[in-house]
Amino acid sequence: MSEMLSFTAAADRMGIGLAGVKQLVSERKLLAIKTDEGVVIPAEALDGELPVKHLFGVLMLLHDAGFSPEESYRWLTTADDSLPGTPLQALHENRATEVKRRAQALAF
């Protein structure tokens, strides 16, 4: 599993308060998942100090398809031959259209 951040560590990295991180998670603009260590934020969901561009839209599509945050993380970090790489890598590379199409297809 990749580097995981506590809410406090994510707040420090993003330069915002803990309440701001919680708000981003509740609005599905930032991904938080439950692990054995508690609820954490995958560091790769951040691009520097901000959530990865277009992550919000993809998380909404996955939520609408019935995915839990943990299932969304698994989907985002699983290699996809049609992209290539993982959907999260594609978002980091600003290839959101391809990722959103793949996420939309999951709802059918």
**In sequence order, what DSSP letters do the residues of 84-108 get, joined into one string?**
SS-HHHHHHTT-HHHHHHHHHHTT-
The domain of 30 spans 4-105
Residue-wise pLDDT for 17-73, tens only, equals: 999 999 999 999 999 999 998 999 999 999 999 999 999 999 999 999 999 999 999
**Residue reference for tokens 């609005």:** 27
Cα of 10 vs its chain's centroid, Å: 13
Among the residue ranges 14-18, 47-51, 81-85, the one predicted with the least confidence is 81-85
Cα separation, 92 vs 89, whole angstroms: 5
Model confidence at 95: pLDDT above 90: yes
Whether the Cβ atoms of residue 88 and residue 49 lie closer than 8 Å to each other: no
Question: How many independent structural domains does the chain possess?
Answer: 1
